[in-house]
Amino acid sequence: MFIVPRLVTLYIMLVVCGVIVLQIERAKRGAGIKIRRIPALEAMTEVVGRATEMGRPVHFTAGVGNLTTRGAQAMMASLEILSYLSEMAARYNSKIITTVAQGDVYAVSEEIIKGAFIRAGHPDAYSPDMIRYLSDSQFAYAGGIAGIITREQCVANVMIGHFAAEALYIAESAHLAGAVQIAGTTNMYQLPYLIAACDYVLIGEELFAAGAYFGKNLVDLGALSGQDFARLFAVALIIIGVALGTVGNKWLTDFLAFK
């Protein structure tokens, strides 16, 4: 019944999941878990405050990914950030404009922003035109964003999610419009462009820390701590693999290869 060559992958996945669940349970029981300062996430409060002072909107984009296949995990993490950002905007009485490229993201974003305004106690401040579907064609989407940021004089551009070739176009257009920029993606090919063009960048796994950072709920903190243990496990495997590889032994490489 089991595909035997893939069992090693299954065991490793179970170990990683086990560690994460264990840490979630530890956090729930009150183990003090601390989280380091992440400047890009700190800057979110700053940009929302600045938007309120200047009376100008904050722009948010989760990129061109969708919730099923293309960058789904990054999109999920990004929508969590949208939830916190829109709640913060609602509390500070600032305007938020969210542009989306995919229909499924549009439907979920609408619910998230509506929910955030209700939680913040300002349901009347919510307006459906805070969420704008532009196009699923990447450059048409990027062109639309550039237009919105310039016309509406957005004070900040938060672009966190799954981005492809349009990332630099969006970031540079926002820079030219004078917006403060917070970016984040797990797409390795776009990260260098975002680092070059934006003020603050969430690199790789930092994207998944937002829930714990803002929410400070025990499940998120435990999951984050569990991830760190899983990464330590990966580091240990790398060190052993390098040591064995150096003496010409490829046993670990062959053992871990996904078949």
Partner 1 sequence: MRRSLPVLIAIVVGIGMVFDLFLKLPLLNNPMAEVRNWMPIMTSFAVIVGCVGLLNVHYKNIQRKRPGWYNSVILWAVMLSVIALGCTKGTRDATYSFIFNNVLVASSTTLSAVGALFLASSGFRAFRATNTNATILLISGALVMLAQVPIGEAIYGQIPNIGNWIMNVPNNAGQRGIMIASGVGFITVCLRIMLGYTRSYLGGGE
- Total chain residues near partner 1 (CB under 8 A): 84
The single residue among 67, 89, 179, 182 that binds partner 1, judged by CB under 8 A, is 67
- Interacting residues with partner 1 between 108 and 147 (CB under 8 A): 108-112, 114-116, 118-119, 128-129, 131-134, 136-140, 142-143
Binding of partner 1 by 243 (CB under 8 A)? no
Contacts of 257 (CB under 8 A, 6+ apart): none
Binding of partner 1 by 171 (CB under 8 A)? yes
Which of 63, 211 has the CB closer to partner 1? 211
CA-to-CA distance for 143 and 132, rounded, in angstroms?
13
Tokens 């989407």 map to which residue? Answer: 141
Binding of partner 1 by 172 (CB under 8 A)? yes
Sheet holding 180-185, edge to edge: 131-133, 96-100, 58-63, 156-162, 180-185, 200-203
Site stretch for partner 1 (CB under 8 A), options 30-38, 57-65, 155-163, 189-197: 189-197
Cα 77 to its chain centre, rounded Å, is 4
The single residue among 41, 43, 47, 83 that binds partner 1, judged by CB under 8 A, is 83
Binding of partner 1 by 33 (CB under 8 A)? no
**Euclidean distance between the first and final Cα of the chain, in Å?**
16
